[in-house]
Amino acid sequence: MSDLKLQLKDAQKQAMRDKNKPRLICIRTMLAEFKRIEVDERIELDQARGLGVLDKMLKQRRDSITQYEAAARQDLADVEHFEMGVIQEFLPTPLTDDEVTALIAQAIADSGAS
């Protein structure tokens, strides 16, 4: 079982203890998506694939927010914003532009390219 899946299961238990129903629903949705993929493809999700699934779910939430705001459904957009926040807790923080530039410069220096 991947570390990500273990983190989600621990977060699910904590949400149950805290009686935080909206968070619990979101975490259960993530776990259900993991399970669906594992059953459909007869594999066990690894860390990289799990992060890809969460990234896809995050993109779906962004698209939904755009549609809900266009339809003047702020209540539904707020739910999607909340779910995005929960999903982002389990994703690694993205690199800043400066960090990416530094990594590229380091890779160029290491390879001897110009």
Tell me, what CATH number does 30's domain have?
1.10.1510.10
Would you give the distance in Å from CA 27 to the centre of its chain? 10
Query: Residue 31 contacts by C-beta under 8 Å, 6 or more apart in sequence?
Result: 5, 8, 9, 12
Residue 114 three-state SS: coil
Q: In this predicted model, what pLDDT tens digit does every residue of 23-44 receive, in sequence order?
A: 999 999 999 999 999 999 999 9
Q: In this predicted model, what pLDDT tens digit does every residue of 37-95 receive, in sequence order?
A: 999 999 998 999 999 999 999 999 999 999 999 999 999 999 999 999 999 999 998 88
Residue-range definition of the domain harbouring residue 31: 3-111
Token pair belonging to 78:
């707020």
Provide the number of structural domains found in the chain: 1
What's the predicted TM-score (pTM) here? 0.81
